Structure 1
Amino acid sequence: MTLTSQRNIILALLIAGAAVSWAVLIRQQIGMDADMGMEMYSPTMGMTGPLFLAVWIVMMVAMMFPTAAPMILTFHQVQAAKRGRGETFVSTWVFVAGYMVVWSVIGVLAFAGAAGAEKLGAQMGMSGAAAARIGGALLIVAGAYQLSPLKDLCLAKCRTPIGFILTSWRDGRWGAAHMGLQHGAFCLGCCWLLFLALFPLGIMNVAAMAVVTLLIFAEKTFPSGDRIAKVSGVALLLYGATVLVFPQALPTFQPMDAMMMN
């Protein structure tokens, strides 16, 4: 099988995995809108830890596989060349597994933080407006991070697959897994606050997930990706500031009377 055919198969599998995951998320949101009521607007959406983690992993496949495809295909190209020279070949999916471990661990931490926030909010009797303003503050933090030097550093690593290969290559299965972990960490550094912004926007808000996915893809692949990151940062700052003044501008805002009825 030619290298082009192999790359096409891997790309098709990545796209298929993302497409199926998007279909699952859309169906999940429809079911939650119909059945869960106010829980839909809570940080954990009323889910247990294992279910939250399962949904989180599906989200990562849907959102990150398309944006990680250039790096995954570059890794496979190098491995195919090694096999052609008679050297040890490591499956590309070992790299992908290491990549997904990073996002799975973050899912565990995200659930712990969401559950803690829910408990604290219940103990304090927090109003819908106060909760929305905290969400606005998170949006401001996410926007500020988009403008930070650390964001620039991580984005540069994600935008140059060949550069990552040249500076971070490791042989063998454990080396491939380590590279997946390392690239996952760079992607995390590039995108984690954009995912944090999903909590005030609605963790199962498919429209918000789609916007974040397109933004991450544009940042990583378009020639003007660094400028796109800056523009999105300014937009998040302005939107967060608007929510601080007008909390009802947040899609997850619940007025006190609606909260009491639920």
Structure 2
Amino acid sequence: MEEVRTDPISTQRNVILGLLIALCAGAWAWLAWQGAGMHRHPGSPMASPTMGMQAPLFVAMWMVMTVAMMFPTAAPMLLTFHKTQENKRRGGQAFVATWAFLAGYMIVWLLSGVAAYIGAVAFEAFASRAAFSAETTNRFGGAILFAAGLYQLTPIKDMCLSKCRTPLSFIMTSWRDGVMGAVQMGAIHGAYCLGCCWLLCAIMFPLGMMNLAVLATVTVVVFAEKTLPQARLLAQATAVILTVGGALMIAAPDALSTFVEG
């Protein structure tokens, strides 16, 4: 009887993809549960930029959001990296290096979460000291939307997006050997990913950090920008929507009101 041999490369890729899907699904389930809990308690500070969270909890939530929103877009890069590693070294080493790459990627998003919390706390303190009304705060939210729309048209957005859209090209031009090299490559890719998406993530502050519709929309836009052929056209369409929405929010802050006076 002929023995059936499994392809270790294919098996490892399936394991990696399966784990990414499981982590992503778990993250979305947690976000849905947390969002439902906030809606059940109207008195919770959902509209606050920090949502009343201390730094560790806020950063933990940010990382869960990163897993939910960014893992689908990072998967092609991660699988391409693993395949390239397989061609250079033994399977076990490639498997470890792939997760080291992901660790480097997540470190960048961890640091972005810390920066987001510092920015949110600073804004809350400034708004409290200046006694901002809900309308004024909403106008600041509109300015974030407007800025995010303009950023969609900038050369740095285009450059970062092009790096994210071409996994093999990125890996060949950014290659570093060893596990620490994989961490560095993951961090570099994370920086390009952050450069591509940071203002799209920032619009969640005025539109609702736990608003699942907003989270899902941003996820779809980011995924489409990185995978569909007409990425530039999509970025331009998103720019129009965000700038128009931001302008409306500035002109009529009650139109897209998210912050309310306590």
Q: TM-score, normalised by structure 2?
A: 0.94
Query: What is the aligned partner in structure 2 of residue 55 from structure 1?
Result: 61
Instruction: Tell whether 2:98 aligns with 1:92.
Output: yes
Give how far 1:123 is off: 1.0
Query: What is the aligned partner in structure 1 of residue 252 from structure 2?
Result: 246
Q: Mapping of 1:1-262 within 5 angstroms? A: 1-2=6-7, 3-35=9-41, 37=43, 39-84=45-90, 89=94, 90-254=96-260, 259=261, 262=262
- SS of 2:229's equivalent in the other structure is coil
Distance in 2 (CA, whole Å) between partners of 1:120 and 1:53 is: 21
Distance in 1 (CA, whole Å) between partners of 2:170 and 2:84 is: 12
**Unpaired segments ≥5 residues, structure 2:** 1-5
Distance in 2 (CA, whole Å) between partners of 1:17 and 1:227 is: 31
Distance in 2 (CA, whole Å) between partners of 1:119 and 1:28 is: 25
Give how far 1:37 is off: 2.2
**Unpaired segments ≥5 residues, structure 1:** none
- SS of 2:46's equivalent in the other structure is helix
Distance in 2 (CA, whole Å) between partners of 1:245 and 1:37 is: 28
Deviations 1:179-228 (A, max 9, x none): 00000000011000101111111111111010000000000001112211
Distance in 2 (CA, whole Å) between partners of 1:54 and 1:40 is: 16
Q: Which runs of 4+ in 1 moved over 6 A?
A: none
Distance in 2 (CA, whole Å) between partners of 1:31 and 1:38 is: 9
- SS of 1:91's equivalent in the other structure is helix
CA RMSD of aligned residues (A): 1.5
Give how far 1:251 is off: 4.5
Deviations 1:153-204 (A, max 9, x none): 0000000001101100000011000000000000011000101111111111
Q: Match of 2:224, as an amino acid?
A: A
Q: Match of 2:157, as an amino acid?
A: K
Cα distance, 1:36–1:109 mapped onto 2, change above 3 Å: farther
Q: Match of 1:13, as an amino acid?
A: L
Q: Match of 2:235, as an amino acid?
A: A
Cα contact 1:202–1:251 (8 A) shared by 2: no
Distance in 2 (CA, whole Å) between partners of 1:137 and 1:22 is: 28
**Is 97-106 or 87-96 further displaced after alignment?**
87-96
Q: Match of 1:79, as an amino acid?
A: Q
Distance in 1 (CA, whole Å) between partners of 2:22 and 2:155 is: 35
Distance in 2 (CA, whole Å) between partners of 1:65 and 1:87 is: 22
Q: Match of 1:156, as an amino acid?
A: S
- SS of 1:170's equivalent in the other structure is coil
Distance in 1 (CA, whole Å) between partners of 2:63 and 2:80 is: 23
Q: Match of 2:13, as an amino acid?
A: R
Give how far 1:96 is off: 0.2
Cα contact 1:136–1:243 (8 A) shared by 2: yes
Q: How many percent identity over aligned positions?
A: 53
Distance in 1 (CA, whole Å) between partners of 2:58 and 2:93 is: 38
Query: What is the aligned partner in structure 1 of residue 3 from structure 2?
Result: none
Cα distance, 1:15–1:109 mapped onto 2, change above 3 Å: same
Count the aligned residue pairs: 255
Cα contact 2:38–2:44 (8 A) shared by 1: no
Deviations 1:17-45 (A, max 9, x none): 01100000010111122236251001000
The answer to which structure has the higher helix fraction is 1
- SS of 1:203's equivalent in the other structure is coil
